[in-house]
Amino acid sequence: MSSASVPTHFKLNTGAEIPVVGLGTWKSEPGQVTKAVAYALKDGYRHIDAALIYGNENEVGQGIKDSGVPREEIFITSKLWNTHQPNVVEGLQKTLDALGTDYLDLYLIHWPVRLVPNESHELLPVNPDGSRSVDRSWNQSETWRQMEEVYKSGKVKAIGVANWSIPYLEELKKTWKVVPAVNQVELHPFLPQHELKKYCEDLGILLEAYSPLGSTGAPLMSDEDITEIAKKNNVSPATVLISYHINKGTVVLPKSVSEKRITDNRKVIKLSQEDLAKLDALAANGKAKRINTPLWGWDLGFEDWYKQ
């Protein structure tokens, strides 16, 4: 089937539309990311996913300028870093200044974790024993209250979260006045998070998938079931993995600095119900694998966090 039968945008609970494929910029080296962003936008992307902790927002901003695509045509997401949770306005301003824009289309709390800055590091502080300098007493509802304030100010058009589990969302739900528009999480057939997806859908929260192609630690691209579906549809395994999310109503954020892969990652196909069911079942059939588990010191409410 042609990509014509696959949506190009999903609707947020704010009413705004978000392009279904965004260019991820995590682990994209400064120097490469400017060219990658400029190329992606010239190639037709209209959604860029950034974050302060990636350390490359200046380059992302330059890539946006170099593309010549008007700001208002681009959906830009960034994320509040853990050390800025007590002062969301300040964290947001650093990102706006780096990207060279006066508003974001979406701003996310990057992790439900507050880090306390100290002399060890501005963004990734550690205690004398080497553990992360985490403030376990910090109330995430206070961070969200500030997110609601910047949303009201108009500097961000939508607010959401990233890496939030059902128990954490349940807790936040007790005090939120604005329902998060998005929850960005690691998502792929080895970590489909079916329960979280249903929970978020029922609340009108759109899921976004990062690490959709896996990594060296989760060899999705060479998995025999995935390559079989790719052969059947006459496409690459990457196209299957990216299309999987869009067919299920999830925004997908593949990351690359290679022009060919950036172009290829925009190719999306309609997958059959049979293919989707097979992909949905891979984790339950013994292939479950979570790639990204930073050492915050606890599991953030995800049952599989340390079962690696």
pLDDT of residue 28: 75
> How high is the mean pLDDT in each 10-residue block of the chain (308 residues)?
75 98 87 95 98 96 98 98 97 98 98 92 89 92 98 98 98 98 97 97 98 81 96 97 98 95 96 98 92 85 71
pLDDT of residue 218: 63
Q: Which of the following is catalytic: 45, 54, 151, 210?
A: 54
Give the C-alpha separation, 261 to 4, whole Å: 21
User: What are the residues facing 115 on neighbouring strands?
Assistant: 134
pLDDT of residue 295: 82
Active site residue 103: no
**188 annotated binding-site participant:** no
Could you tell me the two tokens for 77?
Answer: 């997401």
pLDDT of residue 1: 36
Are 106 and 158 contacting, i.e. CB atoms less than 8 angstroms apart? Answer: yes
pLDDT of residue 217: 62
pLDDT of residue 303: 83
Could you tell me the two tokens for 17?
Answer: 């539309």
pLDDT of residue 263: 97
Are 233 and 8 contacting, i.e. CB atoms less than 8 angstroms apart? Answer: no
What's the pLDDT tens digit per position in 234-256?
999 999 999 999 999 999 999 99
Q: CA nearest 263: which of 16, 42, 27, 30? A: 42
pLDDT of residue 292: 86
Global pTM value: 0.95
Question: Helices (H), strands (E): how many in the chain?
Answer: 10, 10
